[in-house]
Amino acid sequence: MIGPTLPGSILQRKRSTWGCWTAALALAAGMPAGSLAAPQLDFLLFPAVEWRDDSDVKPAGAALDDHLFASVNLFATISADHFQFLGEWFFTEDGDEIQRLQFGWKFGSRDTIWLGRYHTPISYWNSAYHHGTYLQTSVSRPGIIEFEGGEGPLPTHYTGLLWEGSRSLSRGAVHYAVALGAGPTLNGKLDPLDVADPEDDHDAGLMVNLNWRPRSHDRNMIGVFGAKTQIEDEARLFDHIDQWVFGAYVNWHWPHWRLLGAWIDVNNEIDRLGDDDFSAGYLQAEFSPGEHWTPYARYETTRGENPDAPFLGRLDGFILERALAGIRFELTSHQALTLEISSLETVAGESDRIVLQWSAYFP
């Protein structure tokens, strides 16, 4: 089975326990207890190991021997009628972090309200891949949507409410997401709220994402998004940043080709110090002539940036410009090997990089 299975006796015990919970929940919701079905569980493991070598700028983060990086992402989901749970826990040799912890309530036929920590609906890449490394074709993420805690300049997690849904149109469908929650603080790097050890200095943010697809739940989409997040500076060089972000993105597949890209405009209003604005974008093309090999290339650029500005100047590793090419080989139906070569310019300097990555998912 590719889905999870449970031995009969355990399954019966779980059902018995579930029966008590569903009865309580059903009573609380004013529904007959029998109307709730047994939950469906799923579990996924995303391990990845990469060897990386940089010509000049040394890679950020912990390393096994300065070149070798390993990570495991644990993902679990439970769904039962209107209730949904989603959890994701990311481990590296340097530490671990609860990436997502969401409790959802489905209403109508196409809407879900989530409560908890979630991936922000910023652009396409963030919620589609995140730490599910195997799922993305390339080894690296575009610099503009790099993770918080790394060198990313945008909030990739909120903790609060998320409303997701879709509506059919006369032609195609529109999908939407509205996020309202506590965003990151600035602590050398952007530091999202840790649900395992929450602090009270995280200010609120609001984000809206809207995309059109030719058919409901199609992979092809074009979309726009906007966000306003207040980011407190823990170093107290200033009080806070009002960060406004607007962008557009595309993810489109043809029989052998795929194109994904985004353009994002960032306006940081910093109290007493003025503005720190820039725009950044990327375009990635992938070619899949068959089932096994996928060559790809990506170009990223940034415009209007000031490396000495009070916000961007503190993100040394933020990638201002990068040209890369890579090739992914499907080792098995669950494992891939990817080689990526890039030339990049960060706030700190220039470098060439070569990366070989093994990624997989189980079961």
Partner 1 sequence: MSLAPWILLATLLALPNEVERTPDGERTLVVVASAASRAETLSPSEVRLSYLAVPVELDGSPVRPVLNQSDELLFEVFLQKVMFLSADHYRRQLVARVFQSGGARPPVVRELGEVVSMLEEDPRRISYMWQSDAAELAGLKTIAVLWHGNPQ
DSSP 144: G
Sign of CA dihedral 287, 291, 293, 299: positive
SS3 (DSSP) at 35: helix
Encoded tokens for 113: 């309200």
Site for partner 1 contains 291 (CB under 8 A)? yes
DSSP for 38-96 reads PPEEEEEEEEEEEEEEESSSPPPS--SSSSEEEEEEEEEEEEETTEEEEEEEEEETTEE
Q: Is 361 in the site for partner 1 (CB under 8 A)?
A: yes
Contacting range for partner 1; rule: CB under 8 A; set: 38-46, 49-57, 206-214, 337-345: 38-46
Q: Which stretch binds partner 1 (CB under 8 A): 2-10, 198-206, 275-283, 346-354?
A: 2-10
| 168 is a site residue for partner 1 (CB under 8 A) | no
By C-beta, is 54 or 330 nearer to partner 1?
330
Considering only the stretches 62-70, 100-108, 190-198, 267-275, report the one whose residues sit in contact with partner 1 under the rule CB under 8 A.
100-108
Report how far residue 184's alpha carbon sits from residue 233's, in angstroms, rounded to the nearest whole number.
10
CB 39, CB 80: distance < 8 Å: yes
**Structural element, H or E, at residue 126:** helix 125-128
Nearest approach, Cβ of residue 344 and partner 1 (Å): 27
Verify binding: residue 38, partner 1, rule CB under 8 A.
yes
Number of residues engaging partner 1 in binding (CB under 8 A): 37
Phi, psi angle pair for 129, to nearest 5°: -115, -60
Q: Name the minimum Å distance from CB 109 to partner 1.
A: 5
- Residue from 48, 50, 74, 77 touching partner 1 (CB under 8 A): that is 77
- What's the rounded Cα separation, in Å, for the pair 156 and 88? 14
5 touches partner 1 (CB under 8 A): yes
Q: Does 128 bind partner 1 (CB under 8 A)?
A: yes
Q: Which is nearer to partner 1, 104 or 261 (CB)?
A: 104
Taking CB under 8 A as the rule, does residue 109 contact partner 1? yes
> Residue 201 in contact with residue 185, Cβ under 8 Å?
yes
Site for partner 1 in 296-325 (CB under 8 A): none
| 216 contacts partner 1 (rule: CB under 8 A) | yes
| Distance between start and end Cα atoms, the chain | 9
DSSP 211: E
Find the shortest distance in angstroms from Cβ 225 to partner 1.
Answer: 16
Give the shortest CB-127-to-partner 1 separation in angstroms. 6
Q: Which among 73, 114, 109 has a CA at the least distance from the CA of 90?
A: 73
Cis status, amide bond into 59, omega within 30 of 0: no
State yes or no: residue 218 binds partner 1 (CB under 8 A): no
Told to check if 37 binds partner 1 by CB under 8 A, we report yes
Residues in the chain: 363
**Shortest Å distance, C-beta 94 to partner 1:** 23
Is 42 a residue that touches partner 1 (CB under 8 A)? yes
The answer to whether 16 contacts partner 1 (rule: CB under 8 A) is: no
Report helix, strand or coil for 120: coil
What letter does residue 108 receive in the DSSP assignment? T
Q: Kindly state whether residue 127 participates in binding partner 1, applying the rule CB under 8 A.
A: yes
Joined tokens for residue 260: 């994904």
Contact status: 11 vs partner 1 (CB under 8 A): no
Question: Is 79 near partner 1 (CB under 8 A)?
Answer: yes
By the criterion CB under 8 A, which residues form the site for partner 1?
A: 1-5, 37-38, 40-42, 44, 75, 77, 79, 81, 84-86, 102, 104, 106, 109-110, 127-128, 132, 135, 164, 215-217, 219, 291, 330, 333-334, 361
